[in-house]
Amino acid sequence: MAETKNIQDQICLAKNNDQNAFSFLLETFWKDVYCFQLKRTNNKSSAEDITIESFAKAFEKINSYNAKYSFKTWIITISKNIHIDRLRKHKNNFNLLEVDDQNNLSEYSPSPEDDLINEQKLVSLKNKIQLLKPLYRKAIELRYLNDLSHKEIAKELNQPVNSVKVRVLRAKKILAEIINQS
């Protein structure tokens, strides 16, 4: 009973954007969600990706959590729905790949103009990354500009790997919102 109270206390803190509470919930329920997805996907990488996305979505929607239900059940339901969405998306992408194969599209190689456009896009992206809070900016820069693994970032930031994974995913979502607004 005391453990349930502690979890509920941490959820209340998380609803007030307490990063330590998010980390506590992540560490407490990571294995449950990951094992659930591993059984569904039979793929460690997919299970990990879906687990990360599940926690990011749960933390984004934490205020909609209803305390009369188990947090574990709530987050596993989120995870299950993400997996179903991915299966649907994969099915649709597979159908598109079949169409592409039938059209026998030639391989594309970028022109100098394309290279220049891509370079300008990168500069624009770096400027948008600067708009992120330092916590998220550092995670994005280390992951995508310095090409560090989650484990290397965790060591650099002195944070648990699972927390880093969620932080990178949250940073990507915030960055996407910034890009869409501009």
Rounded-to-integer distance, Cα 114 and Cα 126, Å: 18
Task: Report helix, strand or coil for 152.
Answer: helix
How far, in Å, CA of 75 to CA of 145, rounded? 31
The residue type found at 175 is: L
Scanning the structure block, which residue is given the tokens 């194969």?
A: 101
- Selection from 44, 23, 20 nearest residue 34 by Cα: 44
- Cα distances (angstroms) measured from residue 6 to each of 13, 45, 58, 158: 11, 31, 18, 25
Question: How does pLDDT run across 100-123, given as a tens digit for each residue?
Answer: 444 444 445 666 777 777 778 778
Query: What is the pLDDT, as a whole number, of residue 9?
Result: 93
Confidence of residue 144 (pLDDT cuts 50, 70, 90): confident
Q: Tell me what pLDDT residue 28 has.
A: 93
Q: Rounded distance, CA 74 to CA 147, Å?
A: 33
CA distances to 9, 55, 151 from 28, in Å? 13, 12, 19
At residue 1 the predicted structure's pLDDT band, cuts being 50, 70 and 90, is low
Mean pLDDT, range 72-80, rounded to an integer: 94
Hey, what amino acid is at 32? D
Domains and CATH numbers, the chain: 1-105 (1.10.1740.10), 110-182 (1.10.10.10)
> pLDDT category, 160, cuts 50, 70, 90?
confident
Dig out the tokens for 127 from the structure: 């400027």
CA 137 to CA 177: how far, in whole Å? 14
Q: Residue for token digits 């009369």?
A: 68
Q: Which of 18-32, 43-57, 94-108 has the lowest mean pLDDT?
A: 94-108
